[in-house]
């Protein structure tokens, strides 16, 4: 039996291990990335990933990049009717819905399936996948999604996945910043950060920041989670705009996004999002 063919666009720190998992699982992957990384077959033109593919995964940073690949670079015109496009990056929900409508005019389906779990989750295949789209379309690409993640959740129609991904990252970013403020205060009071984390992680203040980001990336001083600070800020702004568009006053979210924007102005362009802690340390009197 011939292995199913999958196109894959975007071989960054998340995309490359995800594409590699598909290859290991027996899928025939035709991939494209402008950096042409080693370790996977990469085509010379993005439209070539469409050849024979029933599905094309897009692991790109934002709506601008997705639309540039699909419309400006011609990928949407190259895929066959009936193909399912899977946008697994972090895009703007309303733009995703509009793009899905334009794809449908060509007989092409689109689902949004952004992920949470970081580079480790991409390598291990333990990502949480937040999916939006028609149930039939998601059922068609479920073998792909279940190869990449341990939890695949359909949240609603197209755009629902991107909406929750942004809202999740707003929550995550807020957790990380308030955790930094609290633990820095504790350290200046004379408390040991590892002991504080041990206590908090058995208490009501625990979060992904206290259980994962601080012990694995902040305390060791590596600040290398694999997710950029500016990507986090982009998702936070999407979430705040979405909240306010629905009539929810996002006062805390807006204030937190403003603080992250301040950090982005002072940290290097490639700064990891966990470096918000470094910035806070250096900017606390």
Angle between helices 160-189 and 229-245 (to 10 degrees): 120
Rounded alpha-carbon distances, angstroms, from residue 180 to 114, 139, 161, 187: 27, 41, 28, 10
Bridge partners for 224 per DSSP: none
User: According to DSSP H, which parts of the chain are helical?
Assistant: 15-24, 63-67, 75-78, 93-104, 118-124, 135-148, 160-189, 193-200, 208, 229-245, 251-266, 276-282
CB within 8 A of 33, min separation 6: which ones?
Answer: 9, 10, 11, 12, 15, 42
SS3 91: coil
Whether residue 10 contacts residue 33, with contact meaning beta carbons closer than 8 Å, is answered with yes
Report residue 254 as tokens.
């807006």
Given CA atoms 127, 130, 132, 133 in this order, what sign does their dihedral have? Answer: positive
Whether residue 149 contacts residue 117, with contact meaning beta carbons closer than 8 Å, is answered with yes
SS3 11: coil
DSSP string, 144-198: HHHHHEEEEEEEESTTHHHHHHHHHHHHHHHHHHHHHHHHHHHHHHT--HHHHHH
Would you call 165 a catalytic residue per the annotation?
yes
Catalytic site positions: 165
């Amino acid at each position: 039996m011939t292995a199913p063919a999958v196109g894959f666009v975007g071989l960054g720190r998340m995309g490359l291990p995800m594409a590699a998992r598909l290859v290991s699982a027996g899928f025939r992957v035709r991939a494209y990335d402008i950096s042409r990384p080693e370790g996977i077959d990469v085509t010379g033109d993005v439209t070539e990933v469409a050849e024979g593919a029933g599905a094309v995964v897009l692991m790109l940073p934002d709506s601008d990049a997705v639309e540039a690949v699909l419309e400006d670079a011609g990928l949407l015109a190259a895929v066959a009717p009936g193909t399912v496009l899977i946008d697994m990056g972090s895009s703007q929900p309303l733009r995703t819905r509009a793009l899905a409508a334009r794809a449908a005019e060509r007989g092409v389906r689109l689902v949004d399936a952004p992920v949470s779990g970081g580079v480790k989750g991409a390598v291990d295949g333990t990502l949480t996948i937040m999916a939006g789209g028609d149930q039939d379309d998601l059922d068609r690409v479920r073998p792909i999604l279940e190869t990449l993640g341990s939890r695949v959740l359909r949240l609603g129609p197209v755009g629902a996945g991107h909406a929750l991904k942004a809202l999740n990252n707003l929550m995550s970013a807020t957790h990380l910043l308030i955790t930094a403020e609290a633990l820095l205060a504790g350290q200046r009071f004379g408390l040991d950060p590892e002991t504080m984390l041990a206590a908090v992680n058995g208490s009501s203040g625990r979060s992904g920041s206290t259980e994962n980001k601080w012990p694995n990336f902040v305390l060791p001083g590596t600040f290398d989670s694999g997710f950029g600070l500016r990507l986090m800020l982009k998702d936070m702004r999407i979430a705040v705009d979405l909240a306010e568009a629905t009539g929810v006053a996002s006062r805390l979210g807006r204030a937190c996004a403003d603080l992250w924007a301040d950090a982005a102005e002072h940290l290097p362009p490639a700064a990891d999002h966990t470096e918000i802690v470094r910035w806070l340390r250096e900017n606390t009197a």
